Structure formats: C-alpha cells, structure tokens
Structure 1
Amino acid sequence: MTPLTALPVDRVVRVRGADPDRIALLAAHGGPDAPAVLSHRFRTANRVAGFVGAVLDDLETAAIGLYPAWLPAAEHIDSPGGAGLAAVRALAAERAAGTPHFGPFLADLAAGALSGVPARRRFAPEIRARGLARAVADGLGRARLVLLMRVPDGLGAEAERTVVAGAEWLADRAGTGVWLCGAPLTTIDRLSAVDLPARAPTPRKPAGTVAAVEGRPHPRSWCEGALEAALARQPWATGRAWNQTYRSHALDSPVRLDLLWRNERCVVEIDGPEHCRPGRFEEDRQRDVRLQLDGFAVLRFTNARVRHDVEAVVRQIGTLIHQRRHEHPRGQ
C-alpha cells in the first residue's frame, strides 16, 4: 500500500504539503494499487468549456501515446493501410463488449492512434472524458485515473472559480479524481483538503541509458534513420534533436530521449521489442509520467510501425507539433 491509496480518487480535493513531483513519482512507483496520475498544466482559465477542452485534449494525447497498451492484441498492427484500421476497430469493439468502454468511441480512438489523425470533435465532451480516462488508466495498468493540477500563484477569483468548476465537471463526467496542489485557493471554500501521509523518501526512478550519439540518430537504428529521413522533408520539423540527455532535477539520474522538440516540449520514443517486457514497460510509464509532470507531451511508436508506415508516424508527430505550437506560440 502506498501513501496515495489514502487519497480520494473520486472527487476534487486540495492536497496540502505535497510537491507535485513527489506525487507523480509515488504514483509511478506505486504498483497496481495506486491510481494512474496524469499531470495537467494550465496557463489560463477564462471559461469552463475551454478549460475542460484543454484537459481532454491532453488526455487524448496521452491515450494516443500509450497505444496499444490499452488495446490488447493490437501490438502487431503497425499500419492503417490494408486491413489495419478495420482490424483495430474490430479489436476495440471486442474489448468494449466485456468492459465499461463505449465501443464506438474506443474504436475511433484506436483508429486515430493508428493513423495519427484523431477525431477529437466527433463525440460529446462527456463521452470523451469517460472514454479517455478509462483508456489512459488501462494503458498505465491502473484501475483509476487521477488528474494532478498545480494551482499557480495569483490565479484570481474568477479563474479559481473556473478551475474548480471544470475540475468538478471532470470528476463527475470522467469518473476521475482531481488533486489540486500548489498555491492555496483564496476564494473557494467548498473543497475538502487532505494531507499526503508521511512516508519513506520517494524512491528514485531507475536510471535510463545515456545516449552516446547525442544530436543524431543512432547509427545502429534503421528506424531512427528512416524517421529522420522522413522528417527532413517536412518544413515544420525544424527544431528537432536526436538522442538528447535529459535530467529533471539535479539529483535525478539522466535519461535519454530518442527525439526531442525542446521549444514545443515534445518527446518521441522509438520502442523495440524489449519495451514490451513487463519490467521495461513499467519503467517506460514512469519516464512518461516524469516527463508529463515537467510539461512534455510524449509519443511512443514501435520499431515495426516506423518500419511499415513511417509516413503515418510523421503525420501523427506533425499533428502534435502543430498543436503545441498553437498552444504555446513562443515555445513557453
């Protein structure tokens, strides 16, 4: 049992005396009894619908990055060509038949993850919220999802009301918990406050492999070379950097990021067969949580998918890069 299991996972609460970094790392190391924790950073909160929409878009990005972990038996479907899209839709319908997933939404999510063209506006926000929360939790191997939000200083009364109303909508419609950390809310008093129980020091995440080929594709990786060749033809792909060393904090072990857009805070990982092993899969999820908490979006592709349909991979990366540039035009 971890300290996080003592916190509510079905409503909005204020979590006092806890750094969001510690919460994310506890979740990553917590095992199946702990909820999946996904960080969302908001800059403005002018309207509830806009706030909720931004959270749902983040959830969809996370779900697509986790594909096919939430769709068993789809690991070997690497291309939307041929029968690929029909196959993942059939698998999604089959999975939904024995789970709380909504079949049409899960089928569209799987098709969007495979093709790199998500259909974000086809379904109502309520359907997206619940479907995405289930997919992300499944992809991380947890029963429940919690959204972790850091409240910035000086938010203002109107923005506080918008954030809390949006968080309550998400908790109700998506069936998630929402943990608000950071600055106290000065104008909202209806939320309960909880303390993260004291516990042994947070375990450090396993050390990653530091790249020896920083700045370019690995010479022994055909897939990295093929992806670079395809990206080199795209005007929007400027600013990319291969095999970068990243350290979240001074005391953390460095990790290698296969492909990084630093200004857009986007990471692309190319996974070989070894990433499907349970231990490695969990380590990858820990890395993703750490990066998400630091404000990065993470996409993962298998070697086989790059090999069989590199253009679809490029389209999906391009969709994310354009989205991030629209949201953060100055790379902030």
Structure 2
Amino acid sequence: MPSWAELPIGQVVRLDADPDAVALALDPLPDDAPAVVTYFAAEERSVADLAASVLRELDKAAIALFPAWLPGAEGIEGPSGVNVAAVQALALRRASVTGHFGPFLAELARRALTGAPSALAPEVRAAGLVRVLADSFGRARLAVLVRVPDGLGAAAREVLVAGCEWLAHRGRAGVWLAGAPLHDDRVRTIATPLPAAVGDAREAVPVPATADRAPAVAYPPVAGRPHPGSASERALEAALSARAWAGGRAWNQTYRPGPLDVPIRVDLLWERERCVVEIDGPDHRAPAKFAADRQRDVLLQLDGYAVLRFPDAQVMTDMDTVVRQIGQFLRNRRRAEG
C-alpha cells in the first residue's frame, strides 16, 4: 500500500476508499501527506463552468486563510490604502524569495483586504491558488479531494473528469476522486493509505445528489487559530478573548497520546488543565465520524484529559451557557491542582 507522499500530483486518480474514511484519515494531516482540500462537486454544464466553480471555491479558502500564507501580515486588517500597500509589498517580497508569481500573490493579498474580484487569467489563478493553499499548511504540494455526488449523468461525468484534468495540469495539484462511481477508463483507481481503524469505518451518510446543493470547498484548520470557515469556533474565540480565566488556550492542536498512537487534532485545548473542548457540526452525527469521536475521547480520557463537547448550534445560540460551563470546569481543575 502506498504512503500519502506516493499518491500522484499533477494527475487525476480515483481512490479505492469511502470519502468519509479518507477524510478521517487526513484529520490531522499526516506528516507525509500534501495539504488536502475537499471539493464537493456539483453538476456543471461545461469544463469552463467547472473550472470557474473550482477556482471560486479555492479562492474563498485562500482569502479565508489569510495571513497564513503571507508571513508578516498578521494583524493587518481593513481595506485602507496603507494596509493594502503593506500587504502588497510583503507579497512581492515573499514572491522574490519563494518562486511565487509576484503579480498573483500581490493581487491576492490586496483582495484579502478589499474583497475585490480577480482580474487574472484562470490558468494563472489555478497555479497560484494551489501554491498558496499548500503554503498555508506548511506543505510543498496540494491535493484536491473531489467528492463525486450521486446522480451525475454521463455528460456531467465527462465534464467533471475533464475539469479535474484541467486543474491537475494547470495547477499542478493532485486530484483525487472519491464517492459515486464515474465509469471512466481515463481515471485509474489506486490504493489509499488508510489506517486499519479508519478503513474499517465504512458506513457513512451519503453525499447528497448534486441537484440538492451547491459546490463548496472544505479545508483543514491552521494550528493556533479558530478555523476561518467555522462561525462557531470564531464566535467562541471572541467570547473567550474577553475573559481573563480563558488564558492558556490553544486552537486546533495536534496531540499524540503515545508514540505508537494515531495523532488526534483537538478543536480547543488547555494543556495545563488537561481540558479539551470540541465543537461538533452536523457531520459528527455520521456513523463513521461518531465512532471516531468516541475512540478519540477514550484515548484522551485515558491520558487524563476531560473532553467537553458542544454542538455548534448551541455555541451559536446559547454562548453564555457554553462559556459558563467551560469556565466552571477550568476553575475546578485549577482549585484541585492547588
């Protein structure tokens, strides 16, 4: 079985695994894997439409992840002329020493502050976005895991494969298909390096048919920050930042209970108090993820951690209760430690 590092970049392949099992195996991102973002495909009428959809979603992810891909831009916010000039200068300086295409990086930095659309060609954007997203997670390469929905007709499947080939070739990204079958001889199927415990968790909620949803991209968090795509994580951080007792917290950390254990990514950690807070979206109700959550909780509890879980709906609608319960637990732990 290949390692994640051996999965191809710059071409389209199909993974021989359930996409939910793949997602579990990639959270946290293995050391030998490229950065991976997930594209939830929907039916498109043409290759140009599919390319535009993918670029639009990758662009949203890159802007949400700013300034992870632009060191030195931390704390620069707002569309003032001074701020825009500062991030563009940083981008051009970074491009000069990293091989990024300077005009693309400078435009993306400006748009991260202003929200303006891109004026660059799709081919330029594809290559630039792939590099920027890989940089955001400290990786040299990027793979796009394309979740193929049920219900695609023959013409839509043809468009999807051709569009994925365009992205792989123009962006130099790995494009890994998983989900509904495509029946396309151009796409070879390869073995997927899943840990045994993850590979056995095959039962999952199916991806909705393409007519039921719009295309979207999901991406990992950056260590030390709330996930920019999670409104509940950002809201909880805003609430905690005003409380002195909440000091010592760290977002989206990777924790390994033992040298032979699979690493665990936790949403929010107070290491000294051995407290983990998890914010669960609707996807945590899927059987595979629910089972994985329980296994992670047991490993953390055996290592002395308490795991406090809150549905993201509760975080967004009853923040006072969530904050009060976290605070009560931390104060109890600190009193017990003397």
TM-score (norm 2): 0.61
1:183-216 CA distance string (max 9 Å, x none): 2112x2122110213523249999x9xxx9xx99
Task: Measure the CA separation in 2 of the matches of 1:257 and 1:153.
Answer: 28
Task: Measure the CA separation in 1 of the matches of 2:279 and 2:197.
Answer: 28
**Which residue number corresponds to residue 189 of structure 2?**
193
Q: CA, structure 1 residues 183+216, in 2 after alignment: closer, same or farther (shift >3 Å)?
A: closer
Q: CA, structure 1 residues 261+89, in 2 after alignment: closer, same or farther (shift >3 Å)?
A: farther
Task: Measure the CA separation in 2 of the matches of 1:7 and 1:217.
Answer: 36
Q: CA, structure 1 residues 113+15, in 2 after alignment: closer, same or farther (shift >3 Å)?
A: same
Task: Measure the CA separation in 1 of the matches of 2:93 and 2:237.
Answer: 38
Give the drift of 1:58.
Answer: 0.6
SS at match of 1:28: coil
Task: Measure the CA separation in 2 of the matches of 1:144 and 1:107.
Answer: 21
**Which residue number corresponds to residue 246 of structure 1?**
281
Which segments of 5 or more consecutive residues in structure 1 lack a partner in the other structure? 224-242, 263-332
Q: Which amino acid aligns with 1:189?
A: D
1:1-47 CA distance string (max 9 Å, x none): 9842232122100111x122232333332344211111111221211
**Which residue number corresponds to residue 272 of structure 1?**
none
Which segments of 5 or more consecutive residues in structure 2 lack a partner in the other structure? 202-219, 227-231, 244-277, 295-308, 318-338
Contact 2:14 2:188 in 1 (8 A): yes
SS at match of 2:144: strand
Q: CA, structure 1 residues 259+109, in 2 after alignment: closer, same or farther (shift >3 Å)?
A: farther
1:79 and 2:78 aligned: yes
**Which residue number corresponds to residue 297 of structure 2?**
none
SS at match of 1:181: strand
**Which residue number corresponds to residue 38 of structure 1?**
37
Task: Measure the CA separation in 1 of the matches of 2:77 and 2:146.
Answer: 34
SS at match of 2:26: helix
Task: Measure the CA separation in 2 of the matches of 1:147 and 1:217.
Answer: 29
**Which residue number corresponds to residue 15 of structure 1?**
15
1:112-160 CA distance string (max 9 Å, x none): 1122x1323x000000000011111101221111111122223121111
**Which residue number corresponds to residue 171 of structure 1?**
168
TM-score (norm 1): 0.62
Q: CA, structure 1 residues 112+259, in 2 after alignment: closer, same or farther (shift >3 Å)?
A: farther
Q: CA, structure 1 residues 3+98, in 2 after alignment: closer, same or farther (shift >3 Å)?
A: same
Q: Which amino acid aligns with 1:183?
A: A
Task: Measure the CA separation in 1 of the matches of 2:92 and 2:314.
Answer: 33
**Which residue number corresponds to residue 138 of structure 1?**
135
**Which residue number corresponds to residue 23 of structure 2?**
24
1:155 and 2:190 aligned: no
Q: CA, structure 1 residues 217+139, in 2 after alignment: closer, same or farther (shift >3 Å)?
A: closer
Give the drift of 1:101.
Answer: 1.1
Task: Measure the CA separation in 2 of the matches of 1:76 and 1:258.
Answer: 29
Give the drift of 1:222.
Answer: 5.7
Q: Which amino acid aligns with 1:74?
A: A
Map residues 1-332 of structure 1 onto 2, 5 A cutoff.
Answer: 3-16=3-16, 18-115=17-114, 117-120=115-118, 122-186=119-183, 188-202=184-198, 221=241, 246-250=281-285, 251=290, 252=293, 254=309
RMSD after superposition? 3.6
Contact 1:109 1:118 in 2 (8 A): no
SS at match of 1:8: coil
Contact 2:25 2:194 in 1 (8 A): no
Q: CA, structure 1 residues 166+65, in 2 after alignment: closer, same or farther (shift >3 Å)?
A: same
Q: Which amino acid aligns with 1:191?
A: V
SS at match of 1:98: helix
1:285-319 CA distance string (max 9 Å, x none): xxxxxxxxxxxxxxxxxxxxxxxxxxxxxxxxxxx
Q: CA, structure 1 residues 220+9, in 2 after alignment: closer, same or farther (shift >3 Å)?
A: closer
**Which residue number corresponds to residue 217 of structure 2?**
none
Task: Measure the CA separation in 2 of the matches of 1:65 and 1:260.
Answer: 21
Query: Larger Cα Rg: Structure 1 or Structure 2?
Result: 2
Q: CA, structure 1 residues 259+59, in 2 after alignment: closer, same or farther (shift >3 Å)?
A: farther
Which deviates further from its counterpart, 127-136 or 140-149?
A: 140-149
Q: CA, structure 1 residues 165+218, in 2 after alignment: closer, same or farther (shift >3 Å)?
A: closer
Contact 2:95 2:102 in 1 (8 A): yes
Task: Measure the CA separation in 2 of the matches of 1:218 and 1:59.
Answer: 26
Q: CA, structure 1 residues 261+190, in 2 after alignment: closer, same or farther (shift >3 Å)?
A: farther
